[in-house]
């Protein structure tokens, strides 16, 4: 059994939220595992991938919305704050919840890697742990560095990890299992990498 030590922070969530609310529009801040991090400004290919996924979700599951800017409370004791590239939830799920919503009811979170030095730690380690801890059923990582899609399922909130990972190279068919229930042809993703 893996025991994760809780990291302590000298900053409270309330202090972080005040700082984040005053940051300029060109800066996106997150608070994961007791640390403030800056999320890179997405490039055109990054945004194109998010829009591609948005269209797939709308066509296949019109009962769901893929939110591209909703902040979530995630992490140990929900003291973390993350802003996924996408959060799939029932239509109007986040109405009235404010800038940092509870993750309950989110079916899937999505991250598209950025070409920065922080991607490995942030998108491949910290965020899957945060999403698993709060029980989000599916985490989809579109990894542009590795030209692959990684589907994380079966969250183990106590261990802060997903038990099952399925990796597919760009160009393969990928199934996002229940509760998402969407199949993706990832061939178009080959056009949006360096």
pLDDT of residue 49: 96
- Write the pLDDT tens digit of every residue in 47-90: 999 999 999 999 999 999 999 989 999 876 457 888 899 999 99
**What average pLDDT does the chain have?**
85
pLDDT of residue 1: 35
Topology of the domain comprising 13-192: tt1808, chain A (3.90.1570)
pLDDT bracket for residue 5 (50, 70, 90): very low
pLDDT of residue 80: 85
pLDDT of residue 78: 54
pLDDT of residue 140: 98
- Write the pLDDT tens digit of every residue in 16-47: 667 666 665 555 665 666 666 665 555 679 89
pLDDT of residue 121: 80
Average pLDDT of the residues in 2-16 = 54
- Write the pLDDT tens digit of every residue in 91-141: 999 999 998 999 999 999 999 998 777 777 888 888 999 999 999 999 999
Q: What is the 3-state secondary structure (H, E, C) of the chain?
A: CCCCCCCCCCCCHHHHHHHHHHCCCCCEEEEECCEEEEECCCCHHHHHHHHHHHHHHHHHCCCEEEECCCEEECCHHHCCEECCCEEEEECCCCCCCCCEECCCCCCEEEEECCCCCCHHHHHHHHHHHHHHHCCCCEEEEEECCCCEEEEEEEEECCCCEEEEEEEEECCCEEEECCCCCEEEECHHHHHHCC
Place of tokens 């004791």: 77
Place of tokens 């599916």: 138
Q: What residue spans define the domains of the chain?
A: 13-192
Nearest-CA neighbor of 29 among 131, 93, 134, 100? 100
pLDDT of residue 93: 97
């Amino acid at each position: 059994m893996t025991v994760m030590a809780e990291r302590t922070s000298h900053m409270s969530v309330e202090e972080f939220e005040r700082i984040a609310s005053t940051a300029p529009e060109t800066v996106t801040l997150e608070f994961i595992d007791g640390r403030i991090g800056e999320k890179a400004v997405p490039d055109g290919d990054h945004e194109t991938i998010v829009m591609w996924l948005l269209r797939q979700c709308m066509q296949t599951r019109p009962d769901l919305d893929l939110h591209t800017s909703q902040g979530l409370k995630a992490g140990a004791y929900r003291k973390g704050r993350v802003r996924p590239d996408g959060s799939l939830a029932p239509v109007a799920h986040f109405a009235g919840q404010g800038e940092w919503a509870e993750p309950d009811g989110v079916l899937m979170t999505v991250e598209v890697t950025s070409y920065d030095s922080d991607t490995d730690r942030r998108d491949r380690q910290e965020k899957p742990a945060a999403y698993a801890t709060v029980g989000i059923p599916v985490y989809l990582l579109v990894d542009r560095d590795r030209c692959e899609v990684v589907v994380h399922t079966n969250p183990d909130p106590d261990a802060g990890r997903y038990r099952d990972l399925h990796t597919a190279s760009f160009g393969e068919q990928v199934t996002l299992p229940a509760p998402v229930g969407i199949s993706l042809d990832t061939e178009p993703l080959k056009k949006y990498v360096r």
